[in-house]
Amino acid sequence: MRVGMMTVAAGAVAFGLAATFAAAAEAGKKATDLFVRVSPRDARYFELSDGRPYVPIGLNMVTPGSGGMPQMTRWIENLSANRGNFCRIWLSSPYFDIEHTRSGQYDEQKARRIDGLLALARKRGVRLKLCMEHFRRLSGSPQWSVKALHHVDNGGPAQSIADFLDGSRSRRQFERKIAFYARRYRSDPIVFGWELWNEVDCVAGGDWARWSELMLAELHRRFPKNLAMQSLGSFDTAGKRKRYQRLAKMKGNDVAQVHRYLDLGGRLDVCHGPVDVLAADAVREILRVQPARPVLLAESGAVEKSHTGPFKLYRKDTNGIILHDVLFAPFFAGAAGPGHIWHWGVYVDRMKLWHHFGRFAEAIDGLDPPSEALEPIELNHEQLRVYALKGKRTFLAWCRDTKSDWRTELAEGKPPEPVRGAGIDVGKYAAGLGDAPVRVYDPWQNAWTKAAVTDGKIVLPTFTRSIVVRVEQKGG
């Protein structure tokens, strides 16, 4: 008995030493050598595999278009220079599509382009969400949504898109495509995660949900260290709610993603109003049904009616108010990161708005969301929409002027009026923080100032559009 106990004790010591050495080795790695995972400390947020927090700050950048790799390089460098650390790529876009001449055949030259992209991302510290497919039909139009090579008449495995999702032959072929990517990129930590399909419920037939369940399981089998996820079309009708509820709860779907845009053709009224409201509402919809996974507003921005093109008022948004609201509102409503805007070229780059990513990064700099048990709350206020996060050691609030939004500034051409003398009542929420210092960040001026809690209230300095309040215990 004593020998057995000594053996167990020795084994426990050995295991403890091994775990310690493993943790030390992990901690010694560069951030880009570490994988992103759902945090075991708080499943609503991400962290790196050594426990460091990770907040995905970035945007959709699905294809470089005619600009090729020089264009993509410039965009990623601009993002990285402004503290961005994430972007989404469509591997099925023409520039990267390995399967473009014949169904089931993969182009080594296109694969080398993906190799180069990952090398660039690693160099710049930008993690990639890699989306595998986006087509919606096997014939017809518009051309971007058609992949005719998968039709049986062209040597493919399917008679229709429904057959492509539901047929055993095409399912096996898609699994072989996953296997191709796995052989090449399985152990690459610069991959944030693998996304099966862009807006899979928009395909013209088939059981998208069952297909997703099967292929998410295959992703986890082939990429055990990477996140796996799926996406649905823009949440702009009441009919989308049940679809989003199903996906949010789906086994193997590591990230509860949602897409929503400012769209005056959307059937939900919320899609017509202030961008911060529609963004925060989308996050809250998902959190209500899935509070135990990270939520991301994975596509957002503004479009002409019913997604008929980029928002024409983008050309007037020289200050980037739409981008700002897409970034800040989701995170302060409880998402695992800022919102990820869609129009990277015609809006973000053309209007020179890259600095906004740095402003968001500055506002949350040093925050460790998984350690805080953050509770999203909304404070009532006459002048402001106050989106707040109450943590164990930190209270954060993003305050948005209710009198200023895209309608007043872009549609009506009225500049924002300064908000003077406004205060927010935080006594109920900041009481546990004692005499913790208060800092206020103006993201439009990129400037911090000091403030104080007096009788439970923080008086804000004069600002326009929005401002961030941060109350932290020392060492928090």
pLDDT single digits (tens) 142-167: 999 999 999 999 999 999 999 999 99
Q: Does one domain contain both 81 and 145?
A: yes
Q: Does one domain contain both 355 and 426?
A: no
- From CA 376, how far away is CA 334, in angstroms rounded? 5
What values do phi and psi take at 442, rounded to 5? -100, 105
Q: What is the CATH number of the domain that holds 207?
A: 3.20.20.80
Structural contact between residues 75 and 68, judged by C-beta atoms closer than 8 angstroms: no
Q: Give the mean pLDDT of the chain.
A: 93
The mean per-residue pLDDT over the stretch 241-266 comes to: 98
What values do phi and psi take at 36, rounded to 5? -85, 135
Domain boundary among the residues 356, 371, 386 is at 371
Predicted TM-score of the model (pTM): 0.93
Look at residue 452 in the predicted model and tell me its pLDDT: 87
- Whether 169 has a pLDDT exceeding 60, the answer reads yes
What values do phi and psi take at 201, rounded to 5? -75, -5
CA 246 and chain centroid, separation: 19
Closest alpha carbon to 93 in 135, 30, 153: 135
- From CA 448, how far away is CA 445, in angstroms rounded? 9
Contacts of residue 176, defined as CB under 8 A and 6 or more positions apart, other chains included, come to: 104
What values do phi and psi take at 447, rounded to 5? -135, 135
Most distant pair of Cα atoms in the chain: their distance: 84
Q: Does one domain contain both 18 and 67?
A: no
Q: Give the C-alpha distances (Å, rounded to integers) separating 179 from 101, 148, 183, 399.
A: 19, 22, 6, 47
Look at residue 27 in the predicted model and tell me its pLDDT: 59
The tally of domains found in the chain comes to 3
Q: What is the CATH number of the domain that holds 436?
A: 2.60.40.1180
Q: Does one domain contain both 150 and 270?
A: yes
Sheet with 384-390, side-by-side order of all strands: 375-379, 384-390, 394-401, 466-472, 438-442, 447-451
Q: Does one domain contain both 352 and 399?
A: no
Q: Does one domain contain both 252 and 170?
A: yes
- From CA 147, how far away is CA 134, in angstroms rounded? 9
**3-class SS of residue 136:** coil
Domain boundary among the residues 308, 338, 371 is at 371
Q: Does one domain contain both 172 and 219?
A: yes
Q: Does one domain contain both 21 and 54?
A: no
Look at residue 265 in the predicted model and tell me its pLDDT: 97
Residue with tokens 């930008």: 126
The mean per-residue pLDDT over the stretch 379-393 comes to: 95
Is the alpha carbon torsion for 168, 173, 175, 176 positive or negative?
positive
Q: Does one domain contain both 386 and 456?
A: yes
- From CA 341, how far away is CA 260, in angstroms rounded? 10
Q: Does one domain contain both 443 and 303?
A: no
Q: Does one domain contain both 357 and 389?
A: no
Tokens of 22: 């493993």
| pLDDT tens digits, 254-275 | 999 999 999 999 999 999 999 9
Closest alpha carbon to 389 in 401, 375, 399, 400: 375
What domain range includes position 24? Answer: 1-32
Domain boundary among the residues 371, 386, 406 is at 371
Q: Does one domain contain both 140 and 184?
A: yes
The mean per-residue pLDDT over the stretch 63-72 comes to: 95
